Chains A and B, each alone.
Chain A
Amino acid sequence: MSFTRVIAVARKETLQILRDPRFLFLAFAFPVVLIFLFGYAITLDVREIPTVILDRSNSTHSRQLIRSFVNSGYFSEIARANSEKEITELIDRGEAAFALIIPFDFAEQLQRDRAPVLTIADGSDANTSQSIVAYSRRILTDYNLKRVGSAIGIDVSKMRVTAQTRFWYNQELDSRHFLVPGLIALIMTTLGALLTSLTVAREWERGTMELLISTPIKPVELALGKLLPFYVIGMFDLFLSSAVAVIIFDVPFRGSLVLLTISSSLFLAAVLSMGYMISVVTRSQQLAYQVSMLASFLPGLLLSGFLFPISSMPKAIQIISLAVPGRYLIDILRGIFLRGAGLDILLPNLLALAGFTALFAILAVLTFRRSV
């Protein structure tokens, strides 16, 4: 392998990129713009669930119950309904996600054995409704306990089992800390595959591949030369996005910068060689684009653990997710940023990425040789 030939190809590729200012701008600046936008825009936090209340009892007891819901901080009353029809309408239109209905005889029932109330959750938003179930149950149990306590004149806070809970790695439970490292990984996965997927296909489409083949360059040299400029762009983007995450969004950075550099390099090597392989196999830009999008974006979004915990997926899907490079980077970034994880914990992820790189690189070079 000749180093000069690699550099020559890299220079040609760099010149081509530099000649297209728009592409350059998009590749360099846009990932950071996206992190900015999403960092502000997206959050999974469920609080102030819009609640509609129908109080038919209108007694001191019912008002007390309503207060314990509203004062909990989880539910915020957006409307007082006069009929069940109004409640149906509000939930149908998606304006309310939770309804509390207190029947006429609530106060009388409370003098007896049990007093039923009706609660309705909008189940079409699964994330919110899960929280609604958990929160509303808690509030009711708490309310009942206090009633028992005040009836027999003892302080229930002395009688209950409480949890002294510590939230590790993300004390304020800020979903941004969880999402921003994932976003960096998602953007880099897709960008890495996209940037390179066209590079060989374009040479075929434009007929310049024949020219390249007639030069003494070897397939490995061509691949390295073509990937080098994209590697530089990718590393630049990764560091800039990480800086934005830490400086603007206060995502803690507890791990080591060296480890971040090593793992980002390995990751980029994996996705860039994947993109390169796609490019070699497809030979058409439209097809290369479609394939690399399918291979990177949606799997990166849905199978990587970015949003949906991998451990909750069925076993078969968990196995498929092993083939998604983004999953390893997400693990690594969250580990380095939030948990301050070291090499010993992240090693399996790094090895997986190295395996990917080797596999794609060998496949790409072999296919290339055959197609020439």
Chain B
Amino acid sequence: MSFRRILTVLTKEIQELLRDRKLVMIVLISPVVQLIIFGYAATYDVNNIPTALIDHDHSVASREIRSALQSSRYFDIKYYPESPGEMTELLERGDIWVGIEIPPGFAEDIAARQGAEIGVIIEATNSNSASITAAYLEGVLERFSRKSLLGFLKRNQTMTGLIPAQVESSLRIWYNPDLESRNFNVPAVVVQILVVMTLLLTSMSIVREREFGTMEQLVVTPIRSTELIIGKAIPYGLIGIIDVALILAVAVFYFQVPLVGSLALLFGTAIIFMISTMAIGLLISTFSTTQQQAMISAFFFMMPAILLSGFAFPIENMPESIQYLTYLNPLRYYVVIIRSIFLKGVGIGPLLSEIIPLTVCGFVALTLAALRFRKRIR
């Protein structure tokens, strides 16, 4: 392998890249803009749930339920419809997620100690938000029940002594005490932007030469396939490193995602990750004869790779056969790595079980790309 020849290819590639001003702009500016927008968008937080309440009872108890809901910060009572029909309409139009109906005689039921029931309709199109909403609502109701029961016992002098001790839990949320889902999602968005930037560009790199007919010229030069591959990959790698620096800066300084772990480790693993995505891009490029083919193949690699990376859908919940499939996915490892470094601050030791397979992925893809490429030239 000759270093000089790699350098020649490298210079040529960089010149080609720089000549395309629009591409350079996109590659450098768009990741930052994207992270800023997506960083705000990616939140699972369920609060201020738009709620409608019909109070048929107009009693102290029903007012207490209303204020318990309002003070819970989860529910935002936006509408007080007159009739169930009106509430249904609000629900159908998607203006509210929850409709609550307190029936007439609610306070009497409570006073008679017969158990009281309120009617609840939850718009469950989003099953995830719906089940969290239901749990919050039951929490509010149970606290209300407990309060009214204890109040009843306290008023009843003879029973006060019988009230048993209550179990209280202090809940600690590790790594992300404010339960800010942004802290969880921004690192994953970083991974997605990196893949889009590196994999797409490289997947077109070799097939471009072929489509333009300049490949023949490259073949007659004394350059070897590995040298060509390396020379082609390095400029994209450099772009990737600049992108990493830019978006990490946005994540840490703009979004204030706590970076507990080591920055050096984050950068080092980012480079290993990019090598693997670029290698896959190059591999796709060697398999394609037109840019159109390369593009659509890259897309159909990328989409499953992102959705099956565990960024939103836990891998443990997937069927076993698909879980095995995800072991081939470099994103799977990097999502774990970047989240662990950001939020948990773990060092290299516990991460080796992710870093090693990631490196293997990259190495295998790179070797395959070089082998494929050699065959194509001859």
Residues of chain A touching chain B, judged by Cβ–Cβ distance below 8 Å, are 20, 22-23, 26-27, 30, 34, 37-38, 40-46, 65, 91-94, 109-131, 133-138, 140-145, 147-148, 151-152, 154, 156-171, 173-175, 177-178, 187, 190-191, 194-195, 198, 202, 205-206, 282, 284-287, 289-291, 293-294, 297-298, 301-303, 307-309, 311-314, 316-317, 320-321, 334, 338-339, 341, 345
* Structural contact, B135 and A170, CB atoms closer than 8 A: no
Known: A30-B300, A124-B344, A284-B20. A302 touches B42 (CB 8 A): yes
CA of A110 to CA of B150, assembled, Å: 17
A19 CB to nearest B CB, Å: 10
A343 CB to nearest B CB, Å: 13
- Say yes or no: is B85 at the interface (Cβ < 8 Å to chain A): no
Known: A118-B170, A339-B92. A160 touches B300 (CB 8 A): no
Known: A23-B292, A141-B143. A160 touches B201 (CB 8 A): no
Binary flags per residue of B120-154, CB closer than 8 Å to A gives 1, else 0: 11111111111110111111011111101110010
Q: For A294, list chain B residues within 8 Å (CB).
A: 26, 30, 34, 196
Say whether chain A's binding surface is mostly helix, strand, loop, or mixed: helix
Known: A126-B183, A165-B122. A301 touches B306 (CB 8 A): yes
CA of A164 to CA of B172, assembled, Å: 31
- Say yes or no: is B37 at the interface (Cβ < 8 Å to chain A): yes
Interface residues of B in 158-206 (CB under 8 A from A): 159, 162-177, 179-181, 183-185, 189, 192-193, 196, 200-201, 204
- Say yes or no: is B232 at the interface (Cβ < 8 Å to chain A): no
Q: For B42, list chain A residues within 8 Å (CB).
A: 302, 307-308
* Structural contact, A135 and B135, CB atoms closer than 8 A: yes
Known: A118-B169, A158-B114. A165 touches B179 (CB 8 A): no
* Structural contact, A163 and B113, CB atoms closer than 8 A: no
B209 CB to nearest A CB, Å: 12
Stretch at the interface among B2-10, B244-252, B262-270, B307-315: B307-315
Q: For B179, list chain A residues within 8 Å (CB).
A: 123, 126, 129-130, 133
CA of A230 to CA of B88, assembled, Å: 40
* Structural contact, B167 and A123, CB atoms closer than 8 A: no
- Say yes or no: is B360 at the interface (Cβ < 8 Å to chain A): no
A203 CB to nearest B CB, Å: 12
B179 CB to nearest A CB, Å: 6
Residues of chain B touching chain A, judged by Cβ–Cβ distance below 8 Å, are 20, 22-23, 26-27, 30, 34, 37-38, 40-48, 50, 65, 91-94, 110, 113-132, 134-139, 141-146, 148-150, 153, 159, 162-177, 179-181, 183-185, 189, 192-193, 196, 200-201, 204, 208, 211-212, 290-293, 295-297, 299-300, 302-304, 306-308, 312-314, 317-319, 322, 336, 339-340, 343-344, 346, 350
Q: For B128, list chain A residues within 8 Å (CB).
A: 44-46, 127, 175, 178
Known: A41-B308, A303-B41, A312-B45. A143 touches B23 (CB 8 A): no
Q: Which residue of chain A lies nearest to B34 when distances are taken between CB atoms in the complex?
A: A298
Q: For A287, list chain B residues within 8 Å (CB).
A: 20, 22-23, 26
* Structural contact, A169 and B322, CB atoms closer than 8 A: no
CA of A138 to CA of B300, assembled, Å: 43
CA of A134 to CA of B74, assembled, Å: 11
* Structural contact, A118 and B153, CB atoms closer than 8 A: no
The total number of A-B Cβ pairs within 8 Å is 377
CA of A122 to CA of B114, assembled, Å: 40
A314 CB to nearest B CB, Å: 5
Q: For A168, list chain B residues within 8 Å (CB).
A: 91, 121-124
CA of A93 to CA of B352, assembled, Å: 12
* Structural contact, B135 and A131, CB atoms closer than 8 A: yes
Q: Which residue of chain A lies nearest to B100 when distances are taken between CB atoms in the complex?
A: A163
CA of A168 to CA of B87, assembled, Å: 13
Known: A198-B291, A309-B129, A345-B93. A138 touches B139 (CB 8 A): yes
* Structural contact, B135 and A44, CB atoms closer than 8 A: no
A284 CB to nearest B CB, Å: 7
* Structural contact, A286 and B291, CB atoms closer than 8 A: yes
Q: For A159, list chain B residues within 8 Å (CB).
A: 113, 115, 145, 149
CA of A159 to CA of B149, assembled, Å: 7
Q: For A289, list chain B residues within 8 Å (CB).
A: 200, 204, 291, 295
* Structural contact, B170 and A116, CB atoms closer than 8 A: yes
Known: A44-B127, A128-B314, A334-B125. A140 touches B145 (CB 8 A): no
* Structural contact, A129 and B173, CB atoms closer than 8 A: yes
A225 CB to nearest B CB, Å: 18
B286 CB to nearest A CB, Å: 14
* Structural contact, B45 and A141, CB atoms closer than 8 A: no
Q: Among B113, B115, B176, B297, which residue has its beta carbon within 8 angstroms of that of A126?
A: B176
* Structural contact, B176 and A167, CB atoms closer than 8 A: no
* Structural contact, B41 and A321, CB atoms closer than 8 A: yes
CA of A166 to CA of B342, assembled, Å: 40
